[in-house]
Amino acid sequence: MRLRHRSAAVATALALGLSGCSEALGEETSVLDAESITVGVKYDQPGTGLLGPDGELTGFDVDVAHYLTERMGFSADRVELVGVTSAEREDLLVSGEVDMVVATYSITQARKTEVTFGGPYYVAQQDLLVRAEDTDIDDVRDLEGLRLCQGRGSNSARRITEGLGIRVEQTDAPSYGACVDALREGEVDAMSTDNLILAGFLAREPDSFRLVNNPFTEEKYGVGLPHGDVRACETVNKAITEMYQDGTAGRLLERWFGDTGLDLVTSVPQFEGCP
């Protein structure tokens, strides 16, 4: 399946055809009733969602999206993947330009006011990525006074500054790929987000970076759905349960992150519950 790439800079300028479930949801309608489904995924995060030079998208979240949509009743030819950034996810769901998001999308109370979440389909942990030669950062508190990068639209830095009271010089990059570039070039001292995302970048450049591997939060990856779509949420939760019980989740985690040294969780996550 090929990715239809949306850039954050031009997202609002593109005239995109909406799917059959893009209209406002009523009590009895659901994305499950549509002829086709459009799923937002990341496209610049190795290991979770990466667009290759051949135009193909690969990664853990991409495979999860395929698994879920099949069990939601959509054949492969009725599924379209759309590249999204962290900053775009809510807007695209609310506008109906995507029907579902599987894009390292952490479940938060604030996001629940606009999005219904299925899952989580994985519980990651926030950690730090630093340059390989930097041995001074072994804990999040070592960031005091340093330069920290996060992807725009993420909550990662706020969990450090507001949650832990650590003062940093914060940079919001357009994407985590841009954070990695800034880290490599010495423009920032560390980047912070979920350890699955960091491990994906580390696996691509193991000699350039080091995962601190001292996590300090839990990040529940949810499946974003239109607000109030309980039927789709319940179907997604059933599919996630099957994905773990039939061994697919474990195989996918091992495939994408087995060589990273992370302690991968292969038991069914505790669901948040559908509204």
**Cis peptide leading into residue 269 (ω within 30°):** no
At residue 193, the pLDDT reads 92
- Among residues 127, 78, 119, the alpha carbon closest in space to that of 235 is found at 119
At residue 24, the pLDDT reads 44
Q: Which residues contact 4 (CB under 8 A, 6 or more apart)?
A: 80, 81, 82, 83
170 exposure class (CB count in 10 Å sphere: 0-12, 13-18, 19+): middle
At residue 28, the pLDDT reads 66
At residue 23, the pLDDT reads 43
Lookup: tokens for 221: 């990856």
Give how far Cα 114 sits from Cα of 98, 147, 226, Å.
Answer: 14, 32, 8
The dihedrals phi and psi of 222, each to the nearest 5 degrees, come to -105, 160
Q: Could you tell me if residue 133 is left (phi over 0), alpha (psi between -120 and 50 degrees) or otherwise beta?
A: alpha
CATH number for the domain formed by residue range(s) 3-21+30-123+220-257: 3.40.190.10
At residue 175, the pLDDT reads 87
Each residue's pLDDT, cut to its tens digit, for the chain (275 residues) gives 334 433 333 333 333 333 334 344 445 689 999 999 999 999 999 999 999 999 999 999 999 999 999 999 999 999 999 999 888 999 999 999 999 999 999 999 999 999 999 999 999 999 999 999 999 999 999 999 999 999 888 888 889 999 999 999 999 999 889 999 999 999 999 999 999 999 999 999 999 999 999 999 899 999 999 999 999 999 999 999 999 999 999 999 999 998 888 889 899 999 988 98
State the CATH architecture for 124-218: 3-Layer(aba) Sandwich (3.40)
SS3 45: strand
At residue 268, the pLDDT reads 94
Residue type, 52: G
Give how far Cα 232 sits from Cα of 21, 54, 140, 275, Å.
Answer: 12, 32, 38, 11
Q: Do domains 3-21+30-123+220-257 and 124-218 have the same CATH topology?
A: yes
Lookup: tokens for 172: 């919001």
Q: Name the one residue in this structure whose structure tokens are 């001074």.
A: 136
**Greatest CA span in the chain, whole angstroms?**
57
Q: Where are the domains of the chain?
A: 3-21+30-123+220-257, 124-218
At residue 54, the pLDDT reads 92
SS3 200: helix
At residue 68, the pLDDT reads 98
